[in-house]
Amino acid sequence: MSSGVTGAVALRWVWSNVWRLWFSAAVLVLWWVLSADSTSTFFPPLQRILERLHALWIVGDARSELWSSLGHFAVGYTVAGVVGVGVGALLWKFRRIGDAVSPVLYFVYVIPTAALLPAIVAIMGIGSAMKITIIVLAAVWPTMLNTLDGMRGVDPLKLDTAKVLHMSALRTVRTVVVPAAMPQVMAGLRHSLQVAVIMMVVSELIASQSGIGFFILEAQQRFAITEMWTGIIVLALVGSVLTVVFIAVERVVLAWYIGARAVERKG
Amino acid sequence: MAGPDPSVAAAKRAGEPVLSVRTLAKAYDAGTSREKLAIAEVSFDVARGEFVCVVGPSGAGKTTLLRCLSGLLGPTSGEVRFEGTPLRAVPDRLSVVFQDYSRSLFPWLTVNRNVAVPLRVAGVGKQQREARIQEVLHAVRLGDVGRSYPWQLSGGMQQRVAIARALAQQPDMLLMDEPFASVDAQTRFDLEDLILEVRRELDITVVLVTHDIDEAVYLADRIVVLTGAPSRVQEIVDVPLERPRTQLGTRSSEAFGRLRRHLMELVTTSS
């Protein structure tokens, strides 16, 4: 009986993944076929783009642009995550201070960070510090606000339980508040990830000499449209890989939450 | 834990009630225009080893009373003493079991780690901790579920985990808020018998708040009947049914029926 069941499960797994991929595959094929004879400057054949991509990014040295960008991203995103969770937690802990500070925070929050760019460039110049600052300034908010919200939303009965179990304030935070808020903290971190990738590129579009954003802009200005497209595709791949890695981490960190939710849905 | 001199403590225990409630009153938003009196005046004592149920019509402020008895909520006036000491916070020797196990258990911790929480708080070493976890899981008749998460278990089993966690710190008294209200009827009977067995084996004092009159009669030595809000003590009813009690035998006895009828009258006329 078991081998039959396993076979059926495996078949369903294969089928669900085929179903998941067919549309993407169709789009790729369509792009390949429709662009094959293209003479348009702006939409070169996909085949040519991929050939250039291979030559530039895999064989060539354009990769160094990617490493430069990812370096800024890594530092900026880490700082944004740590500061976001930290300040969010402090605003939760010191509610009275939070009440006074929140209006200012929200005021800064609504300024599009792109609008601050000229000011930041003026103050910090055009080096790595400027790029990291921009990433942090934009990416800190989703994590901070979600952390604050998640901690405020902890079930009061869980806090009563902590008191009944004689937990100290520190232990309550560690054992109850942080895990209970974790699903929302992770949602914030995921949003921050997307914002950080966007700002990584934006920071390289102004007064920059390196990075993948610079590469794309510079290719466009040289009318090297095929190269421009390779940069965009690499960027899309990088974004996808980062998202996949994040989801993998999330599945480990929130294993209990995903499991409990699945049980809940079954009723 | 460095307690008081054991002989003094023992002398105290013999004479004094475990829990003593004196003219307890609780108002929410006291001193404001929205002031709402939840408990008007409640007084009763619970002797060592006794099983006391508190019943009342719905909305009678039972949960407020429980929060005052546990030390989670301070009274507006009057006093609650636990083992002779006025309550300021939740006392060390008191454990609480809430109604909703899905909210009181920590879903991010396995069963073992949930039960371990109070032991870790008390600084119990790893080996002793593991032994104690086995002990209390056994006491609530839970088999090999330590590595599971609470949400992988049935409702009845989850409430057993919550009871095991409450027992882990070897409390003198167990305070329970409608602990069997979220499970089905059969599980409810099982858990009622379980708590009677646990109480007999561990010689523990139990105060259980419920809206279910049958449950109160089945479990209790004495029943404190509250009026509707704001709560007062309407009557304290002795339950002289013999022990050990059985669901079928006890519930079908004539004495059970008489007590049940008397309590019904009290609760329905007061609401």
Average pLDDT, chain B: 91
Same domain, B75 and B181: yes
Q: Residue B236 domain-assigned?
A: yes
Same domain, B175 and B229: yes
Same domain, B175 and B247: yes
The domain locations on chain A are: 1-35, 40-266
Q: Residue B132 domain-assigned?
A: yes
Same domain, B54 and B176: yes
> What is the predicted pLDDT for the residue at B5?
53
Cβ contacts of A257 on chain B, cutoff 8 Å: 107-108
Q: Token pair for residue B159?
A: 């409430």
DSSP 3-state of B95? strand
At residue A165's C-alpha, the angle toward residues A164 and A171, to 5°, is 120
Cβ-count burial B207-227 (b if 16+ within 10 Å, e if not): bbbbbbbebbbbbbbbbbbbb
Residue A191 has pLDDT above 90, yes or no: yes
Same domain, B55 and B166: no
End residue of a domain, out of B120, B136, B170: B170
Best B100, B106, B109 residue to mutate vs chain A (most A CBs within 10 Å): B106
Q: Which CATH superfamily is domain A40-266 in?
A: MetI-like (1.10.3720.10)
Question: Is the CB of A260 less than 8 angstroms away from the CB of B104?
Answer: no
Could you count the other beta carbons within 10 Å of the beta carbon of residue B170? Answer: 16
The answer to whether A191 and A199 have CB atoms below 8 angstroms apart is no
Residue of A nearest to B117 (CA): A165
Residue A2 has pLDDT above 80, yes or no: no
CA atoms within 13 A on the CB side of B187: 13
Identity of the residue in A166, A176, A180 whose CB atom sits nearest the CB atom of B90: A166
Residue B68's CATH number: 3.40.50.300
> What is the predicted pLDDT for the residue at A126?
85
Identity of the residue in B118, B149, B151 whose CB atom sits nearest the CB atom of A165: B118
Cβ contacts of A168 on chain B, cutoff 8 Å: 121
At residue B120's C-alpha, the angle toward residues B119 and B123, to 5°, is 90
Same domain, B176 and B76: yes
Q: Residue B12 domain-assigned?
A: no
Same domain, B250 and B145: no
Q: 135-194 in B: which are within 8 Å (CB) of A?
A: 149, 151-152, 165, 169
> What is the predicted pLDDT for the residue at B1?
43
> What is the predicted pLDDT for the residue at A178?
97
- pLDDT per residue as tens digits for the range B154-193: 999 999 999 999 999 899 999 999 999 889 999 999 999 9
Identity of the residue in B104, B108, B122 whose CB atom sits nearest the CB atom of A161: B104
Same domain, B175 and B159: no
Same domain, B166 and B53: no
Same domain, B72 and B120: no
Instruction: Tell me the one-letter amino acid at B227.
Output: T
Same domain, B51 and B176: yes
Which residue carries 């935070």 as its tokens? A173
- pLDDT per residue as tens digits for the range A32-91: 999 998 888 889 999 999 999 999 999 988 989 999 999 999 999 999 999 999 999 999
The structural domain count of chain B equals 2
Instruction: Kindly indicate the confidence band of residue B268, based on its pLDDT and cuts at 50, 70 and 90.
Output: confident
> What is the predicted pLDDT for the residue at B3?
47
Question: Is the CB of A155 less than 8 angstroms away from the CB of B103?
Answer: yes
Q: How far is A39 from chain B (nearest CA, A)?
A: 58
> What is the predicted pLDDT for the residue at A90?
94
- Structure ipTM: 0.89
The answer to whether B118 and B169 have CB atoms below 8 angstroms apart is yes
Quote the domain boundaries for residue B165.
Answer: 106-170
Average pLDDT, chain A: 92
Residue of A nearest to B122 (CA): A166
Instruction: Kindly indicate the confidence band of residue B270, based on its pLDDT and cuts at 50, 70 and 90.
Output: low
Residue B11 has pLDDT above 50, yes or no: no
Identity of the residue in A165, A182, A264 whose CB atom sits nearest the CB atom of B121: A165
The answer to whether B36 and B28 have CB atoms below 8 angstroms apart is yes
Same domain, B79 and B200: yes
Q: How many CB pairs under 8 A join A and B?
A: 60
Q: Residue B101 domain-assigned?
A: no
> pTM for this structure?
0.87
Q: Residue B10 domain-assigned?
A: no
